[in-house]
Chains A and B, each alone.
Chain A
């Protein structure tokens, strides 16, 4: 079943075309990888889905419902949660409180929220650090907290924006394992990532963006050999043989 469908989604900032007629559908239960060079429009696409930007043209359907231009908090309540490319921790709060911010989305009582947040921290392996202020933690931990917080909103679809950028190889491995664990819970995931190896490992289908357009879509192995993809990443002079 299709969980998310983008129909002709376009975003213009004045003269600049950030997204140009994106058609893309996401099946329930899959991990879709979004790749592309800097400025290709990946984050803009996420912003259009999650309500942070109102698409200039086209529509976004979530489980058949039109969510184009809906306010971010409403999109979250419907079951789509996003993380941010640049970590956005509530740095004056503890780890537990950060995750509670997510749990509060579905539960009003502080005590209940705290218990649920605790469970999520155990799931993501942060339980021991629950009383530390987030501001003083490493990037890897903060990214993990963002993931925990996102899970806490009980989403059906998660939009992960470069959750592995800036991590060392070991941390990346751990992050991949966590994403797979989240996926096993039955959550559909769209991952934006620069690192090809990472995306190849976790997703069965990849969509490649370049200059605001969706240029290729398909299984990872085919996509990396596609001429247009190589051109997008390396420039005109190179080709698959070279």
Chain B
């Protein structure tokens, strides 16, 4: 683990760099790329809490993402309610849903959690596809409203979106950092490594898994709200898709699950790779970016399951021993 000072300096530099970047580079595609990068870094950091630190792999985080997206978009679309309230409600609902999922599932041992997250995600997508109030499979479009922070709508600039994504990423990272050195952080890692020994040390493991999932779900929903308001159109096939769930897992695994900087590293590699391979290989080569992605993951699994952060640690270790 890093010292507090090191962490603050690293985070400060990163935030500064990300804050300045869109001011220097005004290319709109690049700005979009940065926003997606920050969004996925934040999403993966949120997933990291439950999947990385507590070791409970979820393949259904799109549920929380979708809940966030719909909670912000539906009231905005139907009643013109400010999306900020929707965002807060989305976070709350996702937290409650996480609790409801966790109560039965975390009582089981082994991989049942991972399996059930798949199932829950499918069920929720079907529910939304058949829910008339949110226009079923067609999805929702954001109404055209006055631009500004109240409606969180901007037509001529991407900067407000960029900074909002940056702030979300900053918040999740701070929460993760605080968690990492608290009792909760130790308990999460203990549960991942030796659940039975953790129990013998007085850890209520199902309760702590529950905490991890709830915090993770909250931030995932916030990201979902942001995504909806940024792209202005949501539908079950996008915000509740398996692709989103899997992408979050892949980014974290690539960067390094259970490490503070893993999600950002993973997003910095995967998101540009995906965007540019799509541009280079063209729309007709559908799925080639995913093939590249898959190949990367296979390599990680074989050579360094701890991801890039793990590679770096191994490098440091070898250097020290030379």
Q: Which residues of A contact B (CB under 8 A)?
A: 50-52, 71-74, 76-77, 81-84, 88-93, 97, 100-102, 104-105, 108, 110, 113, 149-150, 153
In the assembled complex, the Cα of A88 lies from the Cα of B197 at a distance in Å of: 6
Asked if residues B194 and A77 are in contact (CB atoms below 8 Å), the reply is no
The distance from the CB of B262 to the nearest CB of chain A, in whole angstroms, is 14
Q: B2 to nearest A CB, angstroms?
A: 15
Question: A72, B199: Cβ atoms under 8 Å?
Answer: yes
Which single member of B181, B193, B201 contacts A102 (CB below 8 Å)? Answer: B201
Hey, which chain A residues are within 8 Å of B198, CB to CB?
101
Least distance between A178 CB and chain B CB atoms (Å): 19
8 Å CB interface, B150-208 against A: 181-183, 186-187, 189-190, 193-194, 196-205
Q: In the A-B complex, list the 10 residue pairs whose CB atoms are closest, starting with the nearest.
A: A76-B202, A88-B197, A105-B202, A72-B199, A73-B204, A90-B193, A88-B194, A101-B201, A104-B183, A73-B202
B186 lies within 8 A of A72 (CB)? no
A-B contact pairs, 26 of them (CB 8 A): A52-B196, A52-B199, A72-B199, A73-B199, A73-B202, A73-B203, A73-B205, A76-B201, A81-B200, A82-B200, A88-B194, A88-B197, A90-B190, A90-B194, A91-B193, A92-B193, A97-B186, A101-B187, A101-B203, A102-B201, A104-B186, A104-B187, A104-B201, A104-B202, A108-B183, A110-B183
For the complex, would chain B's binding face be called helix, strand, loop or mixed by DSSP majority?
helix
Please, how many angstroms separate the alpha-carbon atoms of A92 and B187 in the complex? 13
Kindly list chain B residues whose C-beta atoms are within 8 Å of the C-beta of A84: 196-197, 200
Q: How far is the CB of A146 from chain B (nearest CB, A)?
A: 8
A18 to chain B, nearest CB (A): 18
For A92, what are the chain B residues with a Cβ–Cβ distance below 8 Å? Answer: 189, 193
Q: Given A76-B202, A89-B194, A90-B194, check contact A110 B189 (CB 8 Å).
A: no
For A91, the chain B residues whose CB sits under 8 A away are 193
Tell me, in angstroms, the Cα distance from A142 to B138 when the chains sit together. Answer: 59
Bound-state CA distance A25–B203 (Å) is 27
Q: How far is the CB of A235 from chain B (nearest CB, A)?
A: 34
Chain A residues in 8 Å Cβ range of B182: 110
CB distance B181 to A110 under 8 Å?
yes
Contact residues in A for B200 (Cβ distance below 8 Å): 50, 72, 76, 81-84, 88, 150
Which residues of chain A come closer than 8 Å to B202, judged between CB atoms?
73, 76-77, 104-105, 153
Complex CA gap A1/B309 in Å reads 55
- Let me know if B196 and A100 touch, CB within 8 A: no
| Contacting residues, chain A, for B194 (C-beta < 8 A) | 88-90
What residues on B are CB-neighbors of A51 within 8 Å? Answer: 199
Chain A positions within 8 Å of B183 at CB level: 104, 108, 110, 113
A152–B182 Cα distance when bound, in Å, is 17
A81 and B198 alpha carbons, distance in the complex (Å): 11
List the B residue with the shortest CB-CB distance to A154: B202
- Nearest Cβ on chain B to A87's Cβ, whole angstroms: 9
In the complex the two chains form, is B205's CB within 8 Å of A101's CB?
Answer: no
CB contacts (< 8 Å) of B199 on chain A: these are: 51-52, 71-73, 76
Q: Which residues of B contact A150 (CB under 8 A)?
A: 200
Distance in angstroms between the alpha carbons of A90 and B181 in the assembled complex = 16
Q: Which B residue's beta carbon lies closest to that of A87?
A: B197
**Least Cβ distance of A80 to chain B in Å?**
10
> When chains A and B are docked, how far (Å) is the Cα of A100 from the Cα of B200?
13
Which residue in chain A gives the minimum CB-CB distance to B258?
A92
CB distance from A187 to the nearest CB of B (A): 16
The distance in angstroms between the C-alpha atoms of A63 and B197, with both chains bound, is 24
Residue in B189, B199, B203 with the greatest tally of chain A CB atoms within 10 Å: B199
Question: For the complex, what is the distance from the CA of A114 to the CA of B318, rounded to whole Å?
Answer: 29
Chain A nearest CB, measured from B103 CB (Å): 15
Residue in B closest to A101 when the chains form the complex, CB atoms: B201
Q: Which residue of B182, B190, B198 has the most chain A CB atoms within 10 A of its CB atom?
A: B190
Given contacts A84-B196, A110-B182, A110-B183, contact A93 B189 (CB under 8 A): yes
A52: B residues at CB distance < 8 A: 196, 199
In the complex formed, the residue of B with least CB distance to A90 is B193
B204 near A149: Cβ-Cβ < 8 Å: no
Complex: how many Å from CA A150 to CA B198?
11
State A75–B189 Cα separation when bound (angstroms).
Answer: 21
The CA-CA distance from A102 to B201 in the complex, in Å, is 5
B186 contact set on A, CB distance < 8 A: 93, 97, 100-101, 104
**How far does the alpha carbon of A135 sit from the alpha carbon of B192 in the complex, in Å?**
15
Question: What B residues does A113 contact at CB under 8 A?
Answer: 183
Partner of B189, one of A77, A89, A90, A102: A90
Q: Which residues of the other chain, B, contact A100 by a CB distance below 8 angstroms?
A: 186
User: What distance in Å separates the Cβ of B304 from its nearest Cβ neighbour in chain A?
Assistant: 15
Picked from A71, A88, A105, A108, the residue with its CB within 8 Å of the CB of B196 is: A88
Query: Which residue from chain A places its CB closest to the CB of B191 in the assembled complex?
Result: A90
